[in-house]
Amino acid sequence: MSARTRIGASAGRARGVRAVAQTVRCELLRLLREPMYVLPTLLFPAAFYAMFGLVLGGNRGSAEAARYLLATYGVFGAMGAGLFGCSVTLAIDRERGFFALQRALPAPGGAWLVARAAIALLFSLIIVLELAALATAFGGVSLAPAQWVQLWTVTVFGALPFCAIGLLLGSVASANAAPAWANVLFLPMAFLSGLWLPLSMLPDALAQLAPLWPAYHHGQLALAVLGADAGGAAGVHVAVLTTTTVVCAGLALRRLARVG
């Protein structure tokens, strides 16, 4: 490869990176102007954690409850950031013709996908940092620095399967129906996966079905960092989440290729 070819390829990659960065910036500004998404996504997990993990936990065992719910409400927040951030905006873009316009712009073909995923990860990070501040200040939770980093990493990147589910939902639902369908999926999945209450407090029939939900596997990975998981193999949880991401994203992109 000649020097001129290498320089041209390097410049092309740089332009592609700048285009993706600009897409992320524009999508982020767009979402920040939508308080109906930003406020519930960022505030609800912290509010629920403060209520159920700190206030209602009582004195006895409150530190244990605060530790457990620190992991599960982080997963709950990451679920919401990925699911709603990708489903509703995509459905609106499809219906209003914005998605077709984005695909016609001189930007890498996957820039819009990278932007949505990056913003979901950013919001997930903000949520887990909020929960960490509450847990340490009011819940008596103390973790080693390596545990904090591991918990945040697992929780934040665990949002990707829910981004993929959101993309699939946004590729088939209308703009009006997407929020309703996202809630129908989001809230029962969180409850049945043991994110609000430990599975031991649920009826046996529901607890046995928990592994069917990707949120359960995400929650188990987060709880494993704190030594509070059910003892399943981490590889199984990762495999389920990876499969969910690949299958849902693949179906969504295939659908969008036909209708875009």
The band of 223, judged by pLDDT with boundaries at 50, 70 and 90, is: very high
Q: Choose between 82 and 4: higher pLDDT.
A: 82
**pLDDT exceeds 90 at position 76:** yes
End-to-end CA, the chain: 37
Pair 212, 189: CB distance under 8 Å: no
Q: Choose between 2 and 61: higher pLDDT.
A: 2
Q: DSSP string of 26-69? A: HHHHHHHT-HHHHHHHHHHHHHHIIIIIIITT-STTHHHHHHHH
- Which residue is listed with tokens 């699911």? 83
pLDDT tens digits, 125-179: 999 999 999 999 988 889 999 999 999 999 999 999 999 999 999 999 998 899 9
Pair 188, 212: CB distance under 8 Å: no
The band of 70, judged by pLDDT with boundaries at 50, 70 and 90, is: very high
Report the pLDDT averaged over residues 88-117.
77
**pLDDT exceeds 60 at position 224:** yes
pLDDT for the residue 14: 66
